[in-house]
Amino acid sequence: MAVLLLAEMNGAELSLDATAKAVSAAKTLGDVTVLCASSGCNAAATEASQIDGVSKVLCADDEAYGNGLAEPISDLVVALSSDFEHIVAPATNSAKKYTPPRRGFIGCYGYY
């Protein structure tokens, strides 16, 4: 099964601790693809690729994602969702704001 994990980003920097902990939990579900979405996130994507359990990294380097606004990132997750059985994110305040706006569009109606 394929898992999309939304990386915890602080601007263009990867929050390695939060993302690595989420990967550790998510890898039990299947192959983990990490999504780094921010402006200038190439270095973060490279860093994410070195986390144990990461199969693939997607880098969405765009100014639209640079401010961490929920709508553009949520729309990106919805656009990618058809290729994944699970969509997960670290249990942080910033990650929680990306998931609720579009849950109904991808068939997720609760938190687990």
CATH number of 2-106: 3.40.50.620
Spatial separation of the C-alpha atoms in residues 1 and 83, rounded to whole Å? 10
Span 43-79, pLDDT tens digits = 999 999 999 999 999 999 999 999 888 889 888 988 9
DSSP string, 10-52: ETTEE-HHHHHHHHHHHTTTSEEEEEEEETT-HHHHHHHHTST
Which residue, among 16, 108, 93, 9, has the nearest Cα to 54 in the 3D structure?
A: 16
Predicted local distance difference test score (pLDDT) of residue 74: 85
Predicted local distance difference test score (pLDDT) of residue 100: 55
The more confidently predicted of residues 103 and 82 is: 82
pTM for the complete prediction?
Answer: 0.88
Domain extent listing, the chain: 2-106
And the tokens for 78? Answer: 């919805």
Burial (CB < 10 A; 0-12, 13-18, 19+), residue 67, is: exposed
Q: How many Cα atoms are found within 13 Å in the side-chain-facing hemisphere of 7? A: 34
